[in-house]
Chains A and B, each alone.
Chain A
Amino acid sequence: MDFSIRAANVEDCKDIARMIVELSEYEKVAEHVKVTQRDLEQDGFSKNPFFHGIVAEVPEQHKTKEGHTKIGYALYFYSYSSWSGRAVYMEDLYVMPEFRGKGIGKALMSKVAQLGLAAGCNQLNFTVLDWNKPSLDFYLSQGSVDVTASMGYHCMRCDGEALQHLAQP
């Protein structure tokens, strides 16, 4: 199936917001999504964006039942390793279920890697849930390493009241 990958623009935020919810439903946490289309427009397309996006598009004749031609996305941002320098973090990678198995996910991820290398990054980092075997298998088969399993790194988070408390001088 023919598809194209391109940089996201502000008009894509409606479809990206739709697919973010679809991905959260897959990850069983749909009620956690607070980010709206407007947040994406402000945070991704301002002077100092918090993230960048790429979208996968199919031609009109392959659109979904509901009429969507934007059928996948990857959202990423630049990060930093105090050991190895510039890095890129892939926050989301998603392809609508009916378009899977056609190389679109792989193409999106490769594009993020290519953009990262072009920006001088030497790591592409991301997280995956341990029960998400299809994704884990996919990423490991592409040559990624599970740094939690091999080195023992745990992801930690402070939010809500704990973060408010911490932010007090």
Chain B
Amino acid sequence: MHFKVRAATKDDCKEISRMILELAVFEKMPDQVKITHEELERDGFCHNPFFECLVAEVPEEHKSEDGFTIVGYGLYFYTYSTWKGRSVYLEDLYVMPEFRGKGIGKGLLSKVAEVGKKMQCVRLQLSVLDWNTPSRDFYAAKGAQDLTASEGWHFLRFDGQDLDNLANEAPKD
């Protein structure tokens, strides 16, 4: 099946938002999605954007059952390793179920890696849920290492009231 991977535009944010929710449903956490296409439009297309995004598009004649031609996305941002330097973090990679197995996920992932390479990034990082075997296998097949399993890295997070409490204790300037 013919498909195209291109940089997302502000107008794509409604579709990206739709697919973010589909991915969250797949990850069994749909109630965790708090942002809408409005935040994506504001944060992805401002000066010094918080993220960049690629979308995968199919021609009209291959649109989905519900009439969508934007059938996948890869959302990423630049990060920094104080050991190795510039890196890129793949926050989301998603292809609608009816379009899987056609190389679209690989196409999106490769494009993110290529974009990162142009920016002189030496790492591509992401996270995956431990029970998500198809995804773990997909990334392992592409040469990704599981740093939690091999080196013991854990993600920690402050949010909500805990984040507010922490910030309130910052020294006064």
Binding site for B on A (CB under 8 A): 4-5, 20, 23-24, 29, 32-35, 39, 43-44, 48, 50-51, 75, 77-86, 89, 91-92, 106-107, 109-111, 113-114, 116-117, 122-131, 136, 139-140, 142-149, 151-159, 161-169
Contacts and interface: CB of A to CB of B under 8 A. Distances in A.
A168 B23 CA distance: 26
Given A124-B158, A145-B156, A156 B128 contact: yes
Contacts of B89: 79
Given A158-B145, A159-B84, 10 more contacts: A32-B84, A75-B80, A107-B169, A114-B167, A117-B164, A123-B159, A143-B166, A147-B157, A154-B148, A157-B147
B155 A125 contact: yes
7 contacts: A35-B82, A35-B83, A114-B167, A129-B154, A153-B148, A158-B124, A168-B110
B143 interface: yes
Interface string B140-173: 0011111111011111111111111111111100
Nearest to B143: A162
A106 B169 CA distance: 8
B151 A129 contact: yes
Contacts of B139: 156, 158
A57 to B, nearest CB: 12
Contact of B80 (A77, A148, A153, A157): A77
Contacts of A44: 80
Interface residues of B, number: 75
Given A82-B35, A167-B113, A43 B123 contact: no
A159 to B, nearest CB: 5
Given A34-B83, A83-B33, A154-B128, A149 B142 contact: no
A30 to B, nearest CB: 10
B83 A130 contact: no
Contacts of A107: 169-171
A84 B75 contact: no
Nearest to A30: B83
Nearest to A140: B156
A83 B32 contact: yes
Contact of A153 (B78, B116, B129, B144): B129
A113 B128 contact: no
B93 to A, nearest CB: 11
B7 interface: no
A100 to B, nearest CB: 17
A169 B159 contact: no
Contacts of B160: 122
Which of B34, B35, B128, B156 has the most CB atoms of chain A within a 10 A radius of its CB? B156
Contact of B170 (A43, A113, A158): A113
Contact of A158 (B23, B32, B142): B142
A43 B86 contact: yes
B152 A117 contact: no
A130 B32 contact: no
Closest 6 CB pairs of A and B: A162-B143, A143-B162, A130-B152, A110-B170, A152-B130, A167-B113
Nearest to B155: A147
